[in-house]
């Protein structure tokens, strides 16, 4: 969104940072080659700050397009490239696919520089523990980048060393989806091994618990239900995080201990999520908006509706607007992973594993759903909305219940399109060919890398 006119190659030599951020106490470096930056502790910390800044640049696009491609948000503005996402008819020349590819590979190259160079820095007072911390955070960010790329594009070039030239050695072929997932899991496991059970609620940097939570997510995507359940349970049982009020999750002053990792934004280094959801006259351009499927999905008195949707001026007939990210200044922190997702992951894993635990499914779904009705029911339940083990007798009943709760709980957080895809439901839900569930490899990349193959159907 912010970077439509950027023109930077995927195989960029420098450690590139597009803006400053407050993720760490360091100022991100600007377009400095790794041999200059990554020779000191300050340079390493500044480059790590640059990695977080690069992630800020792309996460907004990631979340918006995962919503536009699904059924709870629709295109309501004038950008044809956004309409293509909504209609599942992207061309290889679409600017949104191009920019997302570029921005994630920029992030990957920054993390590759950190992972490849920080361990070799020799500076008095810069301990191995501090170096290992930086490398572990870089591996988590690299894993997040590759997980987004593989979900949007399928198998992608797997680059794990710093890119140092634009020659033939940079023309990397696409790796298989399974190979990309293997690298994601390896990065997260190594980060988890380094960081252990570190991290507090509302952390604005990646922690050991971030790695554990993302391992739960990634194993769910791979259908490894036992591993997904185990990692989610480890996060849940840690006692570090807790479900508070739903409305306390969002904005720049969270009042709950639920977020595991949230990406910091400020009024100077802002996100545009509210801008593109707000109507004209209220500080935005309403480029995407909720669908009738979404506005009608909430049951009566489900308090999540009050957070996820709003109506700035009913007299204008605009209908509802997406409202989870609501700060006009764009200084809402963006949640990357939180505790409610761990309950929903565990519920699905328990229900779809070889020996289903339907009682566990009901228990986990109730943990998430009861919060939505906490002002209507006595504390502790049982609630009239509760699930029971007897509600589930098949995989499909589990999937239907989990998808309903994920749709209301995690909407606007970049999940729903990928949920449909990973569960094999996208083609029937949206009436599209299987080929259209992947974005095309950007034409820009096809033209510059002769070793790339285009996705089928494009």
pLDDT at 169: 53
pLDDT at 35: 55
Is residue 11 scored above 70 in pLDDT? Answer: no
- Architecture in CATH of 1-175: Alpha Horseshoe (1.25)
Task: Show the tokens assigned to 137.
Answer: 């955070």
- pLDDT tens for residues 80-107? 999 999 999 999 999 999 999 999 999 9
Q: How far, in Å, CA of 118 to CA of 43, rounded?
A: 9
Is residue 18 scored above 60 in pLDDT? Answer: no
Per cent of the chain over pLDDT 70 is: 88
Is residue 66 scored above 50 in pLDDT? Answer: yes
- The confidence band for 17, taking pLDDT boundaries of 50, 70 and 90, is very low
Phi, psi of 335 (to 5 degrees): -75, 130
Q: How far, in Å, CA of 110 to CA of 199, rounded?
A: 23
pLDDT at 152: 98
pLDDT at 98: 97
pLDDT at 313: 76
pLDDT at 163: 83
Task: Show the tokens assigned to 391.
Answer: 């509600």
- Among 8-22, 23-37, 282-296, the least confident range: 8-22
Is residue 165 scored above 90 in pLDDT? Answer: no
pLDDT at 267: 86
pLDDT at 31: 44
Burial class (CB in 10 A: 0-12, 13-18, 19+), 90: buried
Per-residue pLDDT, averaged over 164-186, amounts to: 85
Domain ranges of the chain: 1-175, 248-336
pLDDT at 22: 38
Phi, psi of 403 (to 5 degrees): -60, -40
pLDDT at 167: 54
pLDDT at 281: 87
DSSP 8-state symbol, 279? P
Q: How far, in Å, CA of 440 to CA of 363, rounded?
A: 40
Per-residue pLDDT, averaged over 316-341, amounts to: 88
- pLDDT tens for residues 120-158? 999 999 999 999 999 999 999 999 999 999 999 999 999
- The confidence band for 170, taking pLDDT boundaries of 50, 70 and 90, is low
Q: How far, in Å, CA of 384 to CA of 342, rounded?
A: 24
Is residue 308 scored above 90 in pLDDT? Answer: yes
Is residue 164 scored above 80 in pLDDT? Answer: no
Is residue 305 scored above 70 in pLDDT? Answer: yes
Residues forming beta bridges with residue 321, ordered by sequence position: 310
> Would you report the helix, strand and coil content of the chain in percent, each value rounded to 5?
50, 5, 45
């Amino acid at each position: 969104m912010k970077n439509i006119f950027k023109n930077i190659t995927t195989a960029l030599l420098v450690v590139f940072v597009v803006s400053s951020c407050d993720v760490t106490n360091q100022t991100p470096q600007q377009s400095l080659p790794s041999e200059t930056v990554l020779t000191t502790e300050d340079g390493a910390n500044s480059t790590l700050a640059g990695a977080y800044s690069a992630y800020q640049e792309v996460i907004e696009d990631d979340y918006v397009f995962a919503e536009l491609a699904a059924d709870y948000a629709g295109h309501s503005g004038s950008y044809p490239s956004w309409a293509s996402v909504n209609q599942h008819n992207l061309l290889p020349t679409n600017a949104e696919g191009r920019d997302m590819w570029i921005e994630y590979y920029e992030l990957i190259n920054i993390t590759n520089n950190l992972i490849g160079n920080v361990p070799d820095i020799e500076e008095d007072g810069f301990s191995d523990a501090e170096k290992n911390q930086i490398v572990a955070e870089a591996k988590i960010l690299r894993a997040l980048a590759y997980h987004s790329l593989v979900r949007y594009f399928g198998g992608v070039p797997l680059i794990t060393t710093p890119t140092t030239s634009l020659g033939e050695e940079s023309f990397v072929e696409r790796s298989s989806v399974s190979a990309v997932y293997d690298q994601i899991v390896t990065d997260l496991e190594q980060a988890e091994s380094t960081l252990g059970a570190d991290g507090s609620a509302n952390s604005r940097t990646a922690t050991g618990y971030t790695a554990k939570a993302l391992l739960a997510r990634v194993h769910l995507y791979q259908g490894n239900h036992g591993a997904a359940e185990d990692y989610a349970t480890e996060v849940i049982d840690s006692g570090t995080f807790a479900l508070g009020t739903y409305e306390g999750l969002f904005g720049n002053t969270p009042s709950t201990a639920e977020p595991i990792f949230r990406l910091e934004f400020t009024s100077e280094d802002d996100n545009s999520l509210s801008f593109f959801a707000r109507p004209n006259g209220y500080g935005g351009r309403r480029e995407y908006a909720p669908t009738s499927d979404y506005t009608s999905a909430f049951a009566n008195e489900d308090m999540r509706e009050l957070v996820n949707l709003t109506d700035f001026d009913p007299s204008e007939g605009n209908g509802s607007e997406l409202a989870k990210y609501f700060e006009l200044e764009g200084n809402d922190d963006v949640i990357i992973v939180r505790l409610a997702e761990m309950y929903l992951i565990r519920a699905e894993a328990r229900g779809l594993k070889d020996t289903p635990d339907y009682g566990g499914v009901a228990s986990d779904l109730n943990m998430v759903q009861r919060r939505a009705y906490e002002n209507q029911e006595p504390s502790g339940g049982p609630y009239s909305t509760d699930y029971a083990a007897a509600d589930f007798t098949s995989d499909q009943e589990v999937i239907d219940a989990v998808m309903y709760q994920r749709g209301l709980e995690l909407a606007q957080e970049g999940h729903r399109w990928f949920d449909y895809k990973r569960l094999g439901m996208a083609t029937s839900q949206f009436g599209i060919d299987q080929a259209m569930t992947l974005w095309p490899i950007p034409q820009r990349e096809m033209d510059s890398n002769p070793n790339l193959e285009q996705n089928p159907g494009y």
